[in-house]
Amino acid sequence: MPKVSIDQAAGLRLLRPARPVQVIAITSGKGGVGKTSVSVNLSTAMAMGGRQVMLLDGDLGLANVDVMLGLQPSRNLSHVLEGLCTLEDTLLAGPAGLTVVPASSGRKNMAELTRAENAGLIRAFSELSRPLDVLVVDTAAGIADSVISFAQAAQEVVVVICNDPASLTDAYALIKVLNRDHGVERVQVLANMVQSLTEAREVHENLRRVAERFLDITLNFMGFVPQDEWLRRAVRRQQAVVQAYPNSAASLAFMQLAKKVETWGSPRGARGNLEFFVERLIGRGSEPVGEAVA
């Protein structure tokens, strides 16, 4: 029986749809809990682990991912929405092969996009053809339309909290809106700036007890990041702590969190909501198993 030629096999592989992308929205009920630091360092840690990662600055009016990493974008998402460039034109090279999508800062109109505009922005990502394993979305804090849109469009929602009554109260308010009004049934809870695993679990349990009593939702304990002076030094240096101080307690915590994210796996298909890379999700079921034979 003749073998399929190399050229034929290569051509068949090109017909396969791109692999689905794991999309993670990182959010919080209030500002000041270290949400963007979590997004930057978790994304960098996954990139250092060999995954192809893109970080979207989803705080559309007060963007600061580029500032935290010392990047200087010439184009951002506001230019995409104005039709001045494509999404591909905005992409920046971050640490360890991380790709960054910058947003604008200090533009009120970007913070007040309509649901339709947010949906259009999400759909634009399906036009990206570059290989990608994970998209991390650093949302704004609170319950603005963009936060809700990005959370709905992701497969996993990570809510960052700290051991502070306002943080827990506002996190519960966000989770309540996501669950009751938008059908989100599961969130991952990450305790940040805590002293120990014991404290982290206590903070998570306080939130879980209230949420699961009054809402139809599951709050998984993702893990924690300890209070660490080396993390603050990395911020001042405009670097990810996992690169600047790889042996610090915070860095080791982020590397563990990156490994945990890998256990979540890739999405199996579209849920019916508007999602990032929905074409890849829908197309996954048609991917052939193994090589063709003559």
Question: Which is more confident, 111 or 78?
Answer: 78
Map residue 90 onto helix, strand or coil.
helix
On the question of pLDDT at 2 being above 50, the answer is no
pLDDT digits (tens, 9 = 90+) for 74-93: 999 888 888 899 999 999 99
Domain count, the chain: 1
Strand intervals (E) in the chain: 22-28, 53-58, 92-93, 99-101, 134-141, 156-161, 186-194, 218-226
Query: Which are the contacts of 236, defined by CB distance < 8 A and separation ≥ 6?
Result: none
The average pLDDT across 111-137 equals 84
Residue 10 counted as domain residue: no
- Give pLDDT, residue 288: 40
- With both helix axes pointing from N to C terminus, report the angle between 35-48 and 249-264 in degrees, rounded to the nearest 10: 70
Query: Which are the contacts of 72, defined by CB distance < 8 A and separation ≥ 6?
Result: 66
Mean pLDDT lowest for which of 70-79, 84-93, 110-119, 280-289? Answer: 280-289
pLDDT digits (tens, 9 = 90+) for 153-180: 899 999 999 999 999 999 999 999 999 9
On the question of pLDDT at 109 being above 70, the answer is no
Residue 290 counted as domain residue: no
What size, in residues, is the chain? 294
Please state whether the predicted TM-score (pTM) of the whole model is above 0.85.
yes
pLDDT digits (tens, 9 = 90+) for 46-72: 999 999 999 999 988 788 999 999 999
Percent of the chain with pLDDT over 90: 65
- Give pLDDT, residue 107: 66
DSSP string, 151-179: HHHSSEEEEEE-S-HHHHHHHHHHHHHHH
Query: Which are the contacts of 277, defined by CB distance < 8 A and separation ≥ 6?
Result: 20, 21, 23, 125, 126, 128, 132, 135
The mean pLDDT value of the chain amounts to 86
Give the confidence band of 286 by pLDDT, cuts at 50, 70, 90.
very low
* Domain ranges, residue 127: 23-260
pLDDT digits (tens, 9 = 90+) for 173-216: 999 999 999 999 999 999 999 999 999 999 999 999 999 999 99
Residue 145 counted as domain residue: yes
Residue 279 counted as domain residue: no
- Give pLDDT, residue 20: 80
Residue 294 counted as domain residue: no
- Give pLDDT, residue 112: 74
CATH value at residue 182:
3.40.50.300
Task: Please give the DSSP secondary-structure letter assigned to residue 17.
Answer: P
Token pair, residue 160, equals: 């960052």
Residue 268 counted as domain residue: no
Residue 287 counted as domain residue: no
Residue 271 counted as domain residue: no
pLDDT digits (tens, 9 = 90+) for 222-273: 999 999 999 999 999 999 999 999 999 999 999 999 999 999 977 766 665 6
The average pLDDT across 95-117 equals 82
Query: Which are the contacts of 14, defined by CB distance < 8 A and separation ≥ 6?
Result: none
- Give pLDDT, residue 6: 40
- Give pLDDT, residue 105: 72
